[in-house]
Structure 1
């Protein structure tokens, strides 16, 4: 999908609107991850994906042919630069939030795996001659709720 613009000014205006909406959506996702509610980030996932693809496509077109926007008024192009800077800042924020969520998730999975492993090596019998049963090395399945 591409932006269909009448001229450079129209294209820049559409890119500003697109960039500002993407910034808003990514900020909402970052807030969801920061609030430890990743499931809330799913609410706008389809729109975010669609707009991100359009943004990527249009950015590549503009990079390949700067004339698509160079004839737009300087004030309008400056607004696009500012919108892009805000978008980059929100992407960095989301990246930090995702990295934090990833670290927490990996820590939880590691703790579960360690607990499962420790449960395997508990005493295997009763009485004074009971010995700890070594871990067998067999894999243990762990099921995670993807909605959690």
Structure 2
């Protein structure tokens, strides 16, 4: 997928629209994480992935061939710069929000795992009277979802 622009002005305008849409979606995701509702961020994942891939592809094209945007009006190029700065700021914000959510989630998983471990019977000694068999009688399993 690539932008199909007729000239530099059209390409810059399309890049502005792409950047602003991506910024808006990522800001919505960051809001959801900050509000401790990560499930709400999930609704944007597919569109963000598609747009981010297009953004990455088009950014690489422009870096490789600056002439694609060089003839655009200076005011339009300045709008693209401002849109890119806003995008960078929202990415940093989302990174902080996701990092905080990850820290909280990892803490919860550790706390649950510790509670389960604390409730397990402790094996004492070896031999016929040992309590090692308690593990077989009270088996406890935890399944962790790596994608969560």
CA pair 132-103 structure 1, distance change in 2 beyond 3 A:
farther
| Structure 2: unaligned runs, 5 residues or longer | 125-129
CA pair 92-123 structure 1, distance change in 2 beyond 3 A:
same
Which whole-Å deviations, capped at 9, do the CAs of 1:107-131 have from their partners, x for residues lacking one?
A: 000001111111114699xxxxxx9
Normalised TM-score (structure 1): 0.85
Partners of 1:76 and 1:56 in 2: CA distance: 20
The alignment's C-alpha RMSD in Å is: 2.6
Which whole-Å deviations, capped at 9, do the CAs of 1:18-41 have from their partners, x for residues lacking one?
A: 000000000000000001110001
Task: Please state whether the residue corresponding to 1:46 is helix, strand or coil.
Answer: helix
Partners of 1:145 and 1:44 in 2: CA distance: 21
Normalised TM-score (structure 2): 0.85
The equivalent residue for 1:110 is 110
The equivalent residue for 2:35 is 35
Task: Please state whether the residue corresponding to 1:142 is helix, strand or coil.
Answer: coil
Task: Please state whether the residue corresponding to 1:30 is helix, strand or coil.
Answer: helix
The equivalent residue for 2:59 is 59
The equivalent residue for 2:21 is 21
